[in-house]
Chains A and B, each alone.
Chain A
Amino acid sequence: MAETRRAAAGPATYLLRVFVIAYLVLLVAWPVVLVGTNTFANGTQALTDVFADPDMVAALRLSAIAAVVATVINTVFGVTISMLLVRKQFPGKRVLSALIDLPLSVSPIVVGLALMLVYGGRNGWFGPTVEDWGLQVVFATPGIVLATAFVSLPLVIREVVPVLHELGTEQEQAAQSLGASGWQTFWRITLPSIKWAVIYGVVLTLARSLGEFGAVKVVSGNVLGETRTATLAVEERYLNFDQEGAYAVAFLLASVSVLAILVVFVLRARGTRHRAFERQS
Chain B
Amino acid sequence: MTVALEARPGRSRPSLVGHNLTMASGIGLGVSMLWFSLLVLIPLAAVMVTASSGGWAEFWRSITNDQTAAAIRLTVTAAAVVTLANIVTGTAIAWVLVRDRFPGKGLLELVIDIPFALPTIVAGLVLLSLYGNDSPLGLHLANTEWSIYLAFLFVTLPFVVRMVQPVLEELDLEVEEAAASLGASRATIFRRVVLPSLAPAIAAGAALSFARAVGEYGSLVLLSGNLPFESEVTSVRILSAIENDNQAAATSIAAVLLVISLLVIVALDVLQRRVARRG
Tell whether any CB of A sits under 8 Å from a CB of B in the complex.
yes
Interface residues, chain A, CB within 8 Å of chain B?
A: 1, 4-7, 10, 12-13, 16-17, 19-21, 23-24, 26-32, 34-35, 38, 73, 77, 80-81, 83-84, 87-91, 94, 96-119, 125, 146, 149-150, 153, 182-183, 204, 207-208, 210-214, 217-218, 231-232, 234-235, 238-239, 246-247, 250, 253-254, 257-258, 260-262, 264-265
Docked-complex contact A204 and B111, CB < 8 angstroms: no
B180 to A: closest C-beta gap in Å: 10
Closest 9 CB pairs of A and B: A107-B215, A211-B119, A105-B211, A114-B43, A34-B129, A257-B117, A117-B46, A213-B218, A214-B217
Docked-complex contact A110 and B47, CB < 8 angstroms: yes
B217 to A: closest C-beta gap in Å: 4
* Cβ-closest chain A residue relative to B217: A214
Question: CA A104 – CA B75 in complex, angstroms?
Answer: 18
- A98-B268, A102-B262 given; A218·B47 CB < 8 A: no
Docked-complex contact A88 and B19, CB < 8 angstroms: yes
Question: CA A19 – CA B108 in complex, angstroms?
Answer: 13
Docked-complex contact B126 and A117, CB < 8 angstroms: no
**Of the candidates A113, A153, A235, A258, which one forms a contact with B40 in the assembled complex, judged by CB atoms under 8 Å apart?**
A153
Question: CA A21 – CA B112 in complex, angstroms?
Answer: 11
Question: CA A110 – CA B253 in complex, angstroms?
Answer: 9
Task: Collect the chain B residues with CB atoms within 8 Å of residue A116's CB.
Answer: 242
Question: CA A265 – CA B96 in complex, angstroms?
Answer: 18
B1 to A: closest C-beta gap in Å: 22
**Of the candidates A20, A34, A98, A247, which one forms a contact with B269 in the assembled complex, judged by CB atoms under 8 Å apart?**
A98
**B179 beta carbon closer than 8 Å to chain A:** no
Interface centre among B111, B118, B173, B236 (most CB of A within 10 A): B118
Docked-complex contact A89 and B18, CB < 8 angstroms: yes
Question: Chain B, interface size: which category?
Answer: 35 or more
Question: CA A110 – CA B111 in complex, angstroms?
Answer: 29
Docked-complex contact B222 and A261, CB < 8 angstroms: no
Residues of chain B in range 55-84 having any CB-CB distance to chain A below 8 Å: none
Chain A interface secondary structure, helix, strand, loop or mixed?
Answer: helix
Task: Collect the chain B residues with CB atoms within 8 Å of residue A238's CB.
Answer: 125, 222
Question: CA A103 – CA B102 in complex, angstroms?
Answer: 37
Docked-complex contact A257 and B114, CB < 8 angstroms: yes
Residues of chain B in range 1-41 having any CB-CB distance to chain A below 8 Å: 17-22, 24-25, 28-29, 31-33, 35-36, 39-41
- Provide a sorted-by-A list of 5 A–B residue pairs whose CB atoms are within 8 angstroms: A6-B101, A91-B17, A107-B235, A108-B120, A214-B235
Docked-complex contact B265 and A99, CB < 8 angstroms: yes
* Cβ-closest chain A residue relative to B207: A105
Task: Collect the chain A residues with CB atoms within 8 Å of residue B261's CB.
Answer: 102, 105-107, 110
Residues of chain B in range 83-99 having any CB-CB distance to chain A below 8 Å: 89, 92-93, 95-96, 98-99
Docked-complex contact B121 and A90, CB < 8 angstroms: no
Docked-complex contact A28 and B154, CB < 8 angstroms: yes
B99 to A: closest C-beta gap in Å: 5
Docked-complex contact B217 and A208, CB < 8 angstroms: no
A245 to B: closest C-beta gap in Å: 11
Task: Collect the chain B residues with CB atoms within 8 Å of residue A254's CB.
Answer: 118-119, 122, 126
Task: Collect the chain B residues with CB atoms within 8 Å of residue A108's CB.
Answer: 120, 215, 217-218, 235
Question: CA A56 – CA B29 in complex, angstroms?
Answer: 40
- A105-B265, A150-B39, A262-B110 given; A7·B99 CB < 8 A: yes
| Additional 17 contacts, C-beta under 8 A, given A16-B100, A88-B21 | A19-B92, A24-B111, A31-B130, A88-B19, A88-B29, A89-B21, A90-B29, A98-B269, A105-B264, A110-B261, A114-B43, A149-B39, A211-B118, A231-B218, A234-B119, A254-B126, A257-B118
Docked-complex contact B100 and A7, CB < 8 angstroms: yes
Docked-complex contact A114 and B108, CB < 8 angstroms: no
**B238 beta carbon closer than 8 Å to chain A:** yes
Task: Collect the chain B residues with CB atoms within 8 Å of residue A17's CB.
Answer: 96, 100, 102
Docked-complex contact A16 and B32, CB < 8 angstroms: no
Question: CA A260 – CA B264 in complex, angstroms?
Answer: 28
**Of the candidates A115, A210, A260, which one forms a contact with B43 in the assembled complex, judged by CB atoms under 8 Å apart?**
A115
* Cβ-closest chain A residue relative to B126: A31
Question: CA A45 – CA B119 in complex, angstroms?
Answer: 23
Docked-complex contact A265 and B109, CB < 8 angstroms: yes
- A106-B258, A107-B257, A257-B119 given; A38·B238 CB < 8 A: no
Interface centre among A23, A102, A146 (most CB of B within 10 A): A102
Task: Collect the chain A residues with CB atoms within 8 Å of residue B148's CB.
Answer: none
A265 to B: closest C-beta gap in Å: 6
Docked-complex contact A125 and B129, CB < 8 angstroms: no
Docked-complex contact B99 and A99, CB < 8 angstroms: no
Task: Collect the chain A residues with CB atoms within 8 Å of residue B31's CB.
Answer: 80
Question: CA A24 – CA B109 in complex, angstroms?
Answer: 10
